[in-house]
Every structure is written in structure tokens, then in C-alpha cells.
Amino acid sequence: MTAILSRIFGLQHLDLILDIVQDTFETALTRWRFSGIPDNPSGWLMKVAKNKALNAVKRAQKSESFSPDLILPASIDLEDHFDQICTDHEIKDSQLRLLIICCQPVFSSRNQIIITLHILSGFGVPEIANALLMKEEAVKKSLSRCKSSFKAIPQLLNVPVVPPSNEQTEVLLRILYLIFNEGYKTTRARKGINNDLCYEAIRLTKLLLNPKQACYHQVNALLALMFFNLSRFPARLTETAEWLSLAEQDRTLWEIKFIQEGFYYLDISTQSTQLHRLHLEAIIASLHCTAPNFKQTNWAKIVYLYQQLELLEPDSPYIRLNRIIAQSYLQNAAACIKEINALEMSSGLRQSFLFSATKADIYYRTGERDKAILAYEDAFQLSNAPLEKKFLLRKIAECKSDGHKDSA
Amino acid sequence: MKEFLMLIRENADYGEMTAEQMQDDIEKQIKWVEELMAKGNFKDGNPLNHEGSHIKGNVITDGPYVESKECISGYYFLLANSLEEATELAKGCPSLALGASVEIREVIQVEQ
């Protein structure tokens, strides 16, 4: 809805557009409480939005206090125009255009995410604050700064309704990756997984699917990665909503249809002639999703793929860490610990609990219980996420109880 | 059965609700109305637009927000055998949990 209205009014009138959208939903709530949800809710909503937009135009034409640059067509044209741009194809185009406008480098990555979620996904301020663990005031400030930018820098809105360039697509993919990531493992929210964020990321990524574009294969790779990860959601949390590691998950709960959909996108993506990091990440995810159990995971292949990733992104400590983790299942654990320590030093990321937790896990697997407990306790101190801390406590308890069995 | 007018007065500000709360509210409302319909207690119901006009003497002003903060947001016509029964039914209105107040009055019918 916002997308369509932005075609009519232009994003410099974002406040007006958001008001109309908000108004429409309030009307819907008031009406639907009494008479139930209509058979075609989106049709109903667009009709109401259209009427409110028409009223806004009429008021603007009557009132002189409206800004002079609000050049709107006469009401009669507006109705036709509205109907014309409400076709599925036009809606998709409008959303795509809006997505590009939201994700421009002039805004910080964080702000790009905030505007995208607010304008395109209809997330309210409390939802965004919760999703990105910000204070509501901070979100409001970010939004109002972005809106001011739109008003102050009209070039930002000069995005024609054409497919995005390769550079633009790269930016978009990065933002969508980050949005999915935040939903996949929320940083500090009460619930570990924010499904809405993941679904929104997927929905918006699908807008970018265009076989005629050079980035087509990358978009498919990202979708594959998202679906492979999505398939594991039902198994990742216990009944008490606590984390289960990959090794602990009940794989019968993984959604096969999402894995299959992942492969559909993966197949298309691998027809590319250029290797992209998303390809590698997607293939690694596919290897996990098709291993019948943790023990039968093809670690050798995964190590190889991570090594390729390291070549593409030599500066990422996390990719290196993941490769070391994969290697720890194949070879000399002590060597892995050494490498992790070196990595911790060189990356300057001492503050991340991941290094300690990884070492702890390796120690545990190689029978060095005491070292494992110490490393887990380190990780516990460094972690900020309540669910993570619960997980680490559980691991510490497991180490201790096993230890007793050993010594008895 | 007798007819009762049920007026809902509330200051509901949907802008402040989260998406989850809104969805929850709608579901509860729909469920309540469906139960009333199933038991034959529901005749009619409609929400009222927030904007309106108010006339007193010669003075016409905007909206109902003249004397009270709480505005009538909607009405129902319920069917019940007595005021007590109607009141019992009205207690189920989900708006009450959100701070709304409800007024029930019997519609005076003329017997034919």
C-alpha cells in the first residue's frame, strides 16, 4: 500500500502516505471488530486507502496551506491512475522501487534496515525497537532523520521504475541478509527467533528475482540460503523456548519442503559463471540440511567450501572461525585451539563469546572437561544475550555432571 | 426476546498497539460476536466514525469530544430476555479488558 501511494504522492510526502496507511488500518480494525474480516481483505484495504487518498487530494486542492510542490493530478485522473497501478505487476514494481530508495548508501546500514522495515514491511516503532534491540526513542529519531533526508535531498527519490543496477542489488542483498540474520537469531529479544523478520526478508528478496539481470544468480543463492536456514526453525528451540545446537536438533522436525525449495533456488544459482560468497554459504547450508544426522555431516566438503570463502573474504574472522570449527571434526583438536587463539589475538575480537564457546566445545569433545568448563564460563561472561547465556549454563552443567560420572 | 442497545465507550488508540495486540483484539472481538450470533443474542452492530458533529442550541461543533473524554465508538443491538441476561452477555465484550466502558439499555418496544 505504501508503495502504491508513494507512486502517487512521492516519498517527500512520506508522512502523508504513512498517515493514510495508518488511517486505513485503523478503519479496518474498527470495522472488522464488528463485522469480521472480509473475504478479500487486501481488496477491501486498497479500496479504503484509495478513498482516503482521494480525500487527501481534494483537501490539498482546497487548502492553500499545502506545500506548492504537491502537484497532484485532478481527482478523476487519480482514480484511474490508482486502479492502473494496483495490478500485481505494478505493485511489485512499486515495492521494488521503494526498496531501492530505502537502501541507499547515504543512510547507514542500520538506518537502511529501519526504513525498510518501517516503510516496506509495515513494522511499527515498537516492533522495530524490539527486533533491533533499540530504544523506541532511538528508532523514532532515526526515522525522522531519514524522512528529513528525503525532503532535503530530492535526488534520493529519483529512482525510475526499472530493474536495479548490479551495485544497487549488492546493497539490497546485504541489507536483506542482515534482516534475515536478525530474525534467525535475535540479539536480545525475548524470543530467540523472529519469524516475521525472516519471512519479510524472504518476501523482499523475491522481489529481486529477475532472470534478465546479472545478479539473478546471487539473488537465487541468497534465497536458497534463507530457505535452508528456515527449514531448521521448528527444531532449533526446545518446548521451553531454549536453544538447541545443530548437533542436538531433532532432524525429523526440519521442514523438507523448505529444503526442497532451497535446492530449487540453489540449482538456478549455480548456473552462474561467477562465484559469489552467497553461493558458498548456500551450498554449505545445503550440506548440513541433507546430512541424515550430525555424525554423518560431510565435514571435509564443508572445510573445503569455507576455505574458498576465506579466499573470497580474507578479512572475515567469522568465516575463518567457522572453517576451524569444521576442521575440528576432522583432525587434531589441539591444533584447532591454537589457531583459534591466534585468530582471537589478530582479529581483536576478544569481546566475542564465540571464540570461548568454540574452544569450550572442542575441549568437551576431546574429553578435557575442566578446560571446557573454564572456557564456557568465559563465554558466559562475554555473552549479552539471555538465551545464549541459558544455553551456556546448560553446557556447563552437562560438563560438570559428566565429569562426576567419569571420576566415579 | 427483548432488544437491548449496548454502547461502547472507549479511548482506543490503535496507534499505540503492537501488531500482535491488534490481531489478538480482532480475534477476540470476532469470536465474541460469533458466540452471540450462535446463541441468537445478536441483532446488529456497527462501529461509529470518530469524526462527527455535536449540536447544542444554536452551537454546532465538531465531534463528540465535547464533555467527556470517552467517546462512543460503536453500538450493538442485543437480544435477551432481561436486563440481567443482557448485562451478562455484555460482560463478555473484549473491549472491557482494554479499559472501555459499556452501557446497556433496553429498547422500549410498543406491543402490537
Task: Express as a percent the part of chain A with pLDDT over 70.
Answer: 90
| Arithmetic mean of pLDDT, A392-403 | 86
For residue A212, what pLDDT is reported? 83
In this predicted structure, the answer to whether residue A307 has a pLDDT above a threshold of 70 is yes
Number of domains in chain A: 1
For residue B66, what pLDDT is reported? 46
Top-ranked range on mean pLDDT: pick from A134-143, A296-305, B11-20: A296-305
Domain-located, residue A60? yes
Domain-located, residue A41? yes
In this predicted structure, the answer to whether residue A129 has a pLDDT above a threshold of 80 is yes
Which three cell numbers, joined as nine digits, stand for A115?
526504513
Does the distance separating the beta carbons of A34 and B26 come in below 8 Å?
Answer: no
All residues of chain B having their beta carbon less than 8 Å from the beta carbon of residue A26 are: 14-15
Whether B30 has its CB under 8 Å from any CB of chain A: the answer is yes
Domain-located, residue A98? no
Top-ranked range on mean pLDDT: pick from A42-51, A127-136, B10-19: A42-51
The architecture (CATH level 2) of B2-106 comes to 2-Layer Sandwich (3.30)
Which three cell numbers, joined as nine digits, stand for B83?
436486563
Task: Look up residue A242 and give its DSSP letter.
Answer: -
Does the distance separating the beta carbons of A25 and B25 come in below 8 Å?
Answer: no
Whether B25 has its CB under 8 Å from any CB of chain A: the answer is yes
Give the neighbor-by-neighbor strand order of the sheet with B71-80: B42-47, B71-80, B2-10, B101-106
Helix residue ranges per DSSP H, A232-291:
233-236, 256-269, 277-290
For residue B24, what pLDDT is reported? 84
Taken in order B19, B20, B25, B31, the sign of the CA dihedral is: positive
Whether B29 has its CB under 8 Å from any CB of chain A: the answer is yes
Q: What value of ipTM does the predicted structure carry?
A: 0.71
pLDDT one-digit tens code per residue, A189-227: 677 888 888 998 999 999 889 888 878 999 999 999 999
Domain ranges across chain B: 2-106
Domain-located, residue A44? yes
Strands (E), A29-177: none
In this predicted structure, the answer to whether residue A142 has a pLDDT above a threshold of 70 is yes
Domain-located, residue A47? yes
Does the distance separating the beta carbons of B22 and A30 come in below 8 Å?
Answer: no
Tell me which residue range forms the domain holding A47.
1-86
Task: Express as a percent the part of chain A with pLDDT over 90.
Answer: 32
In this predicted structure, the answer to whether residue A379 has a pLDDT above a threshold of 80 is yes
Contacting A residues, span 316-335, partner chain B, CB-CB under 8 Å: none
How near does any CA of chain B get to the CA of A34, in Å?
6
pLDDT one-digit tens code per residue, A238-279: 888 888 888 999 999 999 999 999 999 999 999 988 889 999
Question: Measuring CA to CA, how many Å separate A101 from each of A10, A149, A275, A332, A385?
Answer: 11, 12, 28, 50, 33
Closest among A80, A81, A100 to A160, alpha carbons compared: A100
**Count of pairs with CB atoms under 8 A, one residue in A, one in B:** 40
pTM above 0.90, yes or no: no
Does the distance separating the beta carbons of B18 and A33 come in below 8 Å?
Answer: no
Tell me which of A281 and A107 has the higher pLDDT.
A281
For residue B92, what pLDDT is reported? 92
Does the distance separating the beta carbons of A127 and B33 come in below 8 Å?
Answer: no
For residue A219, what pLDDT is reported? 94
Tell me which of A170 and A309 has the higher pLDDT.
A309
